[in-house]
Amino acid sequence: MIFDQELRRNPAELSRILVHELFHFAWVRLSNDTRRSWGALVEVEMARRARGELGWSAEWRKQLLVATSGSAPGRRWSEYACESFCDTAAWLYAGAGEHAEFTLAARWSEARRAWFAALEARHPAGLRI
């Protein structure tokens, strides 16, 4: 990973990006069932036309899916699922507080928080990445 020098002057943003990137390693270590569970969660959001996201990397992929009427399965869907997972992890664990990229409505954000809490409960020793 290479981080822009500008991030040295913005520790909160550095933390948010670093946590996002680290969770890419967690994503590939999740079981297929766990990844499908995450996919089902965000699929419900899409079906109910939830707007916004918890980071730009998921947001633009979501917009692309909506524009092309795409849904699971497929490469674009897989990329969106992964990015939404990583952006959500950054929202939860980076301590960023408010951010302009956190545009997902509270009801959907809280459902994601609950999903992560359930994952943590199933893996009390943590995700080993």
> pLDDT tens digit string along 44-69?
999 999 999 999 999 999 998 877 76
Does any domain span residue 31? no
Q: Is the distance from CB of 42 to CB of 80 less than 8 angstroms?
A: yes
Domain span including residue 103:
37-129
What confidence score (pLDDT) does residue 65 get? 86
Does any domain span residue 18? no
Who's near 95: CB < 8 A, 6+ residues apart? Answer: 12, 15
Does any domain span residue 24? no
Number of domains in the chain: 1
Does any domain span residue 26? no
Does any domain span residue 13? no
Burial class (CB in 10 A: 0-12, 13-18, 19+), 29: exposed
- Whether the model clears a pTM of 0.85, i.e. scores above it, the answer is yes
The CA-based angle 80-62-119, given to 5 degrees, is: 45
Does any domain span residue 120? yes
Q: Is the distance from CB of 35 to CB of 55 less than 8 angstroms?
A: no
Does any domain span residue 72? yes
Does any domain span residue 63? yes
pLDDT, tens digit only, all 129 positions of the chain? 455 666 566 777 888 989 999 999 999 999 999 999 999 999 999 999 999 999 999 999 999 887 776 555 688 999 999 999 999 999 999 987 788 899 999 999 999 999 999 998 887 766 544
What confidence score (pLDDT) does residue 70 get? 55
What confidence score (pLDDT) does residue 6 get? 65
What confidence score (pLDDT) does residue 98 get? 84
